[in-house]
C-alpha cells in the first residue's frame, strides 16, 4: 500500500483531489480511498501499484500543490537530518558575510554553481572563505541579527518531530557561528558544521579541515541511524544543494526543498510550493498535533 499526500500552499479543493485521482488511475494506480490529514490543506490518496509512475503523474499536476508519494508503513520518521542554508534558513550565510565585504556578487555566483553541482564543494568553500580574509569578526553577529531568518515551517517541523520521539540533527556546509544558534532557535538536538578561522578579532580567510561536505552529511545520517538503532526507512533528510544529494539518497524519505534541478531529480519527494510544514503533513501529522513553542 502506498500514499500520495497532496499538500496545498493555500487551499486544496475537491476538484484538485478529483484531478489527482484521475491522474493516479491513468498512471496505473489502483485507487483505494482518500482521507484528510488536514481539511482543505492536505489529503492522502491510498493506492496499490508501483509508486514511481504515480509520483511522476501527480507532481506538478495541480497549481500550488506539492505531492509526496511513499509507502504507508513507517511514514512517521524517527530521525531528521537537515541542511541549513536555504533550507532551514532563508539565506546563504557565506553570501551575506561577503556582502559586508563588498564581494557578494562574486561569492554568490560560486555558491550557486556549487549548489548546482558544477563545482567541488570543498574547493568552492575554501575559495569563498578566502574572500572574507580580514573581515571584522563582529560582522558575524551583525549578519546573524540582520540577515538570518528561519524558514517558515522549520520550527513546527523540528519541534513536532522531537515531541513525538524523533531525533533531529542540523548538518551544514556552513559555519558553526551561525549553525549553533540556528539549531537552538529551531529546536534541533545538535548541529554539525564548519569552523571559520578567526584570529585577533578578524576572519583569517580559512576554514578548519576536514570540511563538512556531501560525504560527511551522509555519514551523519548513517551514524545517527546506527546510534539510535533505526532502519534507514525510518529516516528523513531534507536539503536544497548538490552536497545534500548523498544524504537524501541514503535516507528513507529524501526531500528536495525548493532545490536545484539535480537535487530534485535525486530526491524521492520535492517541496516546491509549500513551506517546511508540508513535511509534517507528509508524515500524517494534522495541525492539532503540531508543536510550535
State how far the alpha carbon of 195 is from the alpha carbons of 173, 178, 212, 260, 291, in Å.
10, 10, 9, 26, 31
Element at 256 (helix H, strand E): strand 253-257
Q: 60 in the Ramachandran plot: left (φ > 0), alpha (ψ -120 to 50) or beta? A: left
Grid cell digits, residue 241: 544543494
3 state DSSP class of 205: strand
Residue 27: how many other CB atoms lie within 10 Å: 18
Of 16, 44, 66, 83, the active-site residue reads 83
- Closest by CA position to 72, among listed 205, 200, 233: 233
As a dihedral over the C-alpha atoms of residue 187, residue 188, residue 189, residue 192, rounded to 10 degrees, the angle is -140
Q: Give catalytic status of residue 85 as yes or no.
A: yes
3 state DSSP class of 15: helix
Grid cell digits, residue 202: 578578524
Of 85, 95, 99, 240, the active-site residue reads 85
Report whether 110 contacts 119 (CB < 8 A). yes
Q: How far is CA 39 from the centre of its chain?
A: 25
- Cα separation, 214 vs 87, whole angstroms: 15
- Closest by CA position to 97, among listed 135, 149, 145, 150: 135
Q: Residue 79's beta-bridge partner residues?
A: 167, 235
Residues serving a catalytic function are 83, 85
Amino acid at each position: 500500500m502506498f500514499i500520495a499526500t497532496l499538500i496545498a500552499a493555500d487551499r486544496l479543493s475537491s476538484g484538485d483531489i478529483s484531478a489527482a485521482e484521475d491522474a493516479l488511475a491513468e498512471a496505473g494506480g489502483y485507487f483505494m480511498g482518500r482521507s484528510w490529514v488536514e481539511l482543505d490543506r492536505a489529503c492522502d490518496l491510498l493506492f496499490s501499484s508501483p509508486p514511481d509512475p504515480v509520483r511522476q503523474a501527480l507532481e506538478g499536476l495541480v497549481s500550488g500543490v506539492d505531492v509526496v508519494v511513499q509507502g504507508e508503513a513507517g511514514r512517521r520518521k524517527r530521525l531528521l537530518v537537515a541542511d541549513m542554508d536555504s533550507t532551514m534558513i532563508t539565506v546563504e550565510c557565506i553570501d551575506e558575510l561577503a556582502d559586508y565585504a563588498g564581494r557578494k556578487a562574486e561569492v554568490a555566483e560560486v555558491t550557486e554553481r556549487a549548489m548546482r553541482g558544477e563545482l567541488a564543494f570543498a574547493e568552492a568553500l575554501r575559495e569563498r572563505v578566502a574572500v572574507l580574509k580580514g573581515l571584522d569578526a563582529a560582522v558575524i553577529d551583525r549578519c546573524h541579527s540582520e540577515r538570518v531568518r528561519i524558514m517558515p515551517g522549520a520550527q513546527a517541523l523540528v519541534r513536532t518531530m522531537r515531541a513525538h520521539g524523533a531525533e533531529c540533527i542540523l548538518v551544514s556546509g556552513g559555519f558553526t557561528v551561525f549553525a549553533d544558534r540556528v539549531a537552538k532557535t529551531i529546536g534541533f538536538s545538535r548541529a554539525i558544521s564548519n569552523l571559520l578561522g578567526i584570529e585577533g578579532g578578524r576572519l583569517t580567510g580559512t576554514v578548519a579541515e576536514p570540511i563538512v561536505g556531501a560525504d560527511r552529511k551522509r555519514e551523519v545520517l548513517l551514524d545517527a541511524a546506527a546510534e539510535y538503532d533505526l532502519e534507514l526507512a525510518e529516516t528523513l533528510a531534507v536539503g536544497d544543494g548538490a552536497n545534500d544529494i548523498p544524504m537524501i539518497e541514503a535516507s528513507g524519505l529524501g526531500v528536495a526543498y525548493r532545490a536545484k534541478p539535480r537535487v530534485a531529480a535525486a530526491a524521492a519527494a520535492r517541496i516546491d510550493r509549500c513551506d517546511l510544514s508540508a513535511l509534517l503533513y507528509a508524515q500524517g501529522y494534522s495541525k492539532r498535533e503540531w508543536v510550535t513553542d
